Amino acid sequence: MIPDRNQSLMRFWPLPLLVMLGAMLGVWHDNNLQHGRPDTLSALITTVASTPATLLSSTSQWVDHKTSWIFHGYQISRENRRLKSEIAALKQQNIQLQVEASRGVRLSQAQKLYQSSSPPPVAARVISLRSDPDFDTIIINRGTNSSIHKHSVVITPNGLVGEVYEVSANTAGVVLITDPNGMVSARDLRAGAHAVGMCKGDFSSLIPMVNISAESDIAPGDEVVTSGYGVYPPGILIGKVLAVHLDRAQMEKVATIQAAVHFSSLSEVYVIQ
């Protein structure tokens, strides 16, 4: 007896159902993202995962901290701890200076404004770092409960990391400046307003800076900072110019920027509220 083909195919009814459900979830997620609302399902999954992820990350650091003397000796370990706490304090100070600088103060004068009343940046731990090679994104363990919102700017003491694009109560998704979806308006710190352009991520710590005027005085070794157009406040270090060349049409310059931040080893970041 020949089995009924239609009846045989009917056995697979869950597939179209799941595909439709998946597509609907995607549309719902994207719609929430566009309107700056948290997607409940995604937020729930990241929040549930963030707790053990943070715990494991902290435990691994704690074990490393506690056992380092076995390999390096007690004195070195004590000295290391002292230096680490000193570095942490300096990092915090550096972050605060960057925040002040980014709010329109010249970098050289930033230290004088250290005592200002601007809210301090929020320290956050990276709980998921580039888990998919297709997206240069990270998830941090701070969210709206820590006054973080969509478009909050994420930095490290070394420079700019990226922008918050998705936020829930206790987690936030950050798109790195190396992702093609993240664009940063930038300027050459030395040449100032005469050398401005757009840094467009290319999945690499070498970030192309395009749309620079052919007459601009941008040169290798110059520091590039955020210009202040768009979501990023001005004055945050992006990186250093490695090379400059004219584009194919010989109309504009293109610079290659070596990012100041080591994205592969991000463990702690600061969020400017």
Partner 1 sequence: MTPSIRRGIILTVAVPVMTLAQMLLASSLTIFTATPDFLLLLALLAAMLMDANSSALFGFISGTVYASISAPPEAGYGAIIVSWTITCFLVGWLESRIYQDNYILAPPTILIGTIVAGSLFFLFSPQIKPPHWIHALVLTAVYNSVLSVPVFLIFRKLMGKPASHTDLGIGGFS
Which residues of this protein are in contact with partner 1, per CB under 8 A? 11-15, 18-19, 21-27, 29-30, 39, 41-42, 45-46, 49, 52-53, 56-57, 127-135, 137-139, 165-166, 173, 175, 179-182, 202-203, 264
**Nearer Cβ to partner 1, position 22 or 192?**
22
- Cα 53-146-126 angle, rounded to 5 deg: 30
Task: List b or e across 174-208, with b for residues whose CB sees 16 or more CB atoms inside 10 angstroms.
Answer: bbbbbbeebbbbbbbbebeeebbbbbbbeeebebe
CB 167 within 8 A of CB 38: yes
**Nearer Cβ to partner 1, position 69 or 203?**
203
What is the closest distance, in whole angstroms, from the C-beta atom of residue 125 to partner 1 in the complex?
11
What is the closest distance, in whole angstroms, from the C-beta atom of residue 75 to partner 1 in the complex?
30
What is the closest distance, in whole angstroms, from the C-beta atom of residue 48 to partner 1 in the complex?
8
**Nearer Cβ to partner 1, position 101 or 127?**
127
**Nearer Cβ to partner 1, position 19 or 83?**
19
User: Residue 219 corresponds to which tokens in the numbers above?
Assistant: 């040169």
CB 192 within 8 A of CB 209: no
User: Residue 171 corresponds to which tokens in the numbers above?
Assistant: 């987690």
What is the closest distance, in whole angstroms, from the C-beta atom of residue 216 to partner 1 in the complex?
26
Give the closest residue to 177 by CA, choosing from 195, 196, 199.
Answer: 199
**Nearer Cβ to partner 1, position 144 or 213?**
144
What is the closest distance, in whole angstroms, from the C-beta atom of residue 96 to partner 1 in the complex?
28
